[in-house]
């Protein structure tokens, strides 16, 4: 395993962590028992390394050969995993641009996307597990006539539409059958925010040229390793105990410029899984070193209601030496290492609890490990806190109100 997780700077005694390992172990047993609802994601990387991987790679090949643009329509768990990976990872082979729609209600953004569709050979991939999410339906309805106009008929447009949805349920599945769209499935027992290793995450990533085989390998390796269960358990226990000690916020701090959307993915995972029954650490993101020159003040001297988790990439894929000036002779990467060490020293000096998560490098394999590790951490923390990690009654609440108003 290539990630390194450092939990020794949380201020929590090792004995306190060890005291809860039994409970964390029970949570892991439940996740792997096959009896808990919505836990299909635990086996998804190893399961999907076979037939699904080959199918997705073949489809991605066809799309890349036929189109200049993939428009992915989805929201929440049905787009963030792919969007984050596409921002973060190198592309190992020729990919085409992927544009995301259906994740906002911004007319200007809709119009910009339509212009792109008019000007480029386009394939549309609509992703919705339920098949009836308002933002997604709206974007799909808006795009369809432009596709029909561009390709001469609804039938020709349908040949360029791919639907990723539940195997049986929902209006998207019904429409896909009626219109003959190509389809892939989001398994019934995997929720949106845990679906990154299903077709919902993998297909857009593959079209963009990401090495999804390596990503699944990394995640499957993490799933198979007891060492990683222990690391996820310890991080989960630290988060759980810090909450009990009164910490209310977790700053998720990205020490790499390409991890911005990964932060959004993680915010959804933690926020939607744990923010229930009046509890849960409020997940919020910062980018370092940018935010050290703004929010750094609050971190050092503001209300100490938070813990920090630093996401560090130890080795840049490419390095740049500093040619002159006070830092001549060093590289930008070396300065980044010094920045991380300085943050830890300064923040520990005022007793801020810090967890560090280090990647050796930001590639598909390690990124797969990282996502799987965090999914496991999240589920364990929620179970220790006695909330269901896999439902989202609050999100459903918004959706219900929206439907009432629309009706």
At residue 253, φ and ψ (nearest 5 deg) are: -110, 115
- The rounded distance, in Å, linking the Cα atoms of 9 and 353 is 6
Q: Which residue is nearest to ligand PA5 (CB)?
A: 192
User: Taking CB under 6 A as the rule, does residue 273 contact ligand PA5?
Assistant: no
Interface map 49-68 toward ligand PA5 (x if CB under 6 A) = --------------------
- Would you call 68 helix, strand, or coil by DSSP? coil
User: Taking CB under 6 A as the rule, does residue 201 contact ligand PA5?
Assistant: no
Which parts of 349-378 interact with ligand PA5 (CB under 6 A)?
none
Q: Which is nearer to ligand PA5, 75 or 101 (CB)?
A: 75
- The rounded distance, in Å, linking the Cα atoms of 386 and 398 is 23
User: Taking CB under 6 A as the rule, does residue 272 contact ligand PA5?
Assistant: yes
- Interior angle at CA 238, CA 222 and CA 369, nearest 5: 15
User: Taking CB under 6 A as the rule, does residue 283 contact ligand PA5?
Assistant: no
Active site residue 293: yes
Q: Measured from the CB of residue 396, what is the shortest distance to ligand PA5 in angstroms? A: 9
Q: 108, 293, 318, 404: which is the annotated catalytic residue?
A: 293
Q: Measured from the CB of residue 382, what is the shortest distance to ligand PA5 in angstroms? A: 13
- Would you call 318 helix, strand, or coil by DSSP? coil
User: For 111, what's the count of Cα atoms within 13 Å in the CB-facing half-sphere?
Assistant: 3
Q: Which is nearer to ligand PA5, 75 or 307 (CB)?
A: 75
User: Taking CB under 6 A as the rule, does residue 136 contact ligand PA5?
Assistant: yes
Q: Measured from the CB of residue 78, what is the shortest distance to ligand PA5 in angstroms? A: 4
Query: Which H helix or E strand runs over 34?
Result: none
Among 193, 239, 247, 347, binds ligand PA5 (CB under 6 A): 193
User: Taking CB under 6 A as the rule, does residue 191 contact ligand PA5?
Assistant: yes
Among 28, 56, 63, 75, binds ligand PA5 (CB under 6 A): 75
User: Taking CB under 6 A as the rule, does residue 129 contact ligand PA5?
Assistant: yes
Q: Which is nearer to ligand PA5, 261 or 288 (CB)?
A: 261
User: Taking CB under 6 A as the rule, does residue 285 contact ligand PA5?
Assistant: no
- The rounded distance, in Å, linking the Cα atoms of 368 and 352 is 29
User: Taking CB under 6 A as the rule, does residue 187 contact ligand PA5?
Assistant: no
Helices (H), 89-225: 107-119, 134-151, 154-158, 171-179, 199-208, 212-224
Q: Which stretch binds ligand PA5 (CB under 6 A): 7-15, 46-54, 126-134, 144-152?
A: 126-134
Which parts of 287-326 interact with ligand PA5 (CB under 6 A)?
none
Q: 175, 272, 356, 366: which is the annotated catalytic residue?
A: 272
Count CB neighbours of 198 within 10 A. Answer: 28
CB 9 within 8 A of CB 344: yes
User: Taking CB under 6 A as the rule, does residue 122 contact ligand PA5?
Assistant: no
CA dihedral 344, 346, 350, 351 (to 10 degrees): 10
Q: Which is nearer to ligand PA5, 76 or 209 (CB)?
A: 76
Query: Which H helix or E strand runs over 122?
Result: strand 122-128
Exposed / middle / buried, residue 141 (Cβ in 10 Å: 0-12, 13-18, 19+): exposed
- The rounded distance, in Å, linking the Cα atoms of 386 and 375 is 17
Q: Which stretch binds ligand PA5 (CB under 6 A): 41-49, 129-137, 317-325, 344-352?
A: 129-137
Count CB neighbours of 39 within 10 A. Answer: 21
Active site residue 2: no
Query: Which H helix or E strand runs over 342?
Result: helix 332-349
Q: Which is nearer to ligand PA5, 128 or 377 (CB)?
A: 128
- The rounded distance, in Å, linking the Cα atoms of 158 and 124 is 9
Among 1, 38, 214, 395, binds ligand PA5 (CB under 6 A): 395
At residue 124, φ and ψ (nearest 5 deg) are: -110, 135
> Which residues are near ligand PA5 by CB under 6 A?
75-78, 128-130, 133, 136, 191-193, 272, 392, 395
């Amino acid at each position: 395993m290539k990630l390194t997780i450092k939990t020794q700077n949380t201020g929590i005694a090792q004995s306190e962590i060890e005291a809860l390992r039994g409970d964390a172990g029970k949570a892991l047993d439940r996740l792997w028992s096959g009896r808990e609802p919505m836990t299909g994601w635990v086996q998804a990387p190893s399961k999907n390394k076979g037939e699904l991987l080959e199918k997705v790679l073949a489809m991605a090949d066809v799309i890349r050969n036929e189109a200049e643009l993939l428009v992915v329509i989805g929201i929440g768990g049905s787009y963030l995993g792919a969007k984050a990976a596409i921002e973060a990872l190198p592309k190992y082979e020729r990919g085409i641009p992927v544009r995301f729609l259906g994740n906002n209600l911004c007319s200007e953004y809709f119009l910009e996307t339509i212009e792109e569709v008019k000007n480029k050979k386009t394939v549309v991939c609509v992703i919705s597990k339920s098949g009836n999410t308002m933002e997604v339906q709206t974007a799909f309805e808006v795009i369809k006539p432009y596709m029909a106009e561009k390709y001469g008929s609804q039938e020709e447009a349908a040949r360029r539409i791919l639907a990723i949805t539940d195997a049986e349920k929902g209006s998207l599945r019904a429409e896909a059958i009626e219109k003959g769209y190509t389809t892939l499935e989001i398994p019934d027992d995997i929720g949106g925010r845990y679906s990154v290793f299903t077709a919902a995450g993998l297909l857009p990533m593959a079209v963009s040229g990401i090495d999804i085989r390596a990503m699944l390998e990394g995640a499957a390796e993490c799933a198979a390793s007891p060492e990683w269960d222990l690391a996820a358990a310890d991080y989960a226990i630290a988060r759980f105990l810090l909450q009990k000690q009164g910490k209310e916020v977790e700053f998720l701090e990205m020490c790499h410029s390409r991890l911005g959307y990964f932060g959004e993915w993680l915010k959804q995972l933690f926020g939607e899984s744990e923010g229930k029954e009046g509890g849960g650490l409020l997940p919020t993101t910062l980018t370092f070193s940018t935010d050290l020159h703004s929010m750094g003040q609050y971190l050092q001297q503001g209300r100490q209601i938070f813990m920090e988790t630093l996401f560090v990439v130890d080795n840049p894929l490419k390095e740049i030496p500093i040619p002159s000036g006070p830092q001549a002779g060093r590289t930008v990467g070396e300065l980044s290492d010094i920045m991380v060490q300085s943050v830890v020293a300064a923040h520990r000096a005022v007793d801020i609890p810090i967890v560090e998560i280090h990647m050796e490098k930001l590639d598909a394999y390690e990124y797969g490990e990282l996502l799987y590790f965090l999914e496991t951490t999240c589920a364990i923390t929620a179970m220790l806190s006695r909330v269901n990690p896999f439902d989202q009654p609050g999100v459903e609440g918004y959706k219900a109100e929206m439907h009432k108003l629309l009706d």
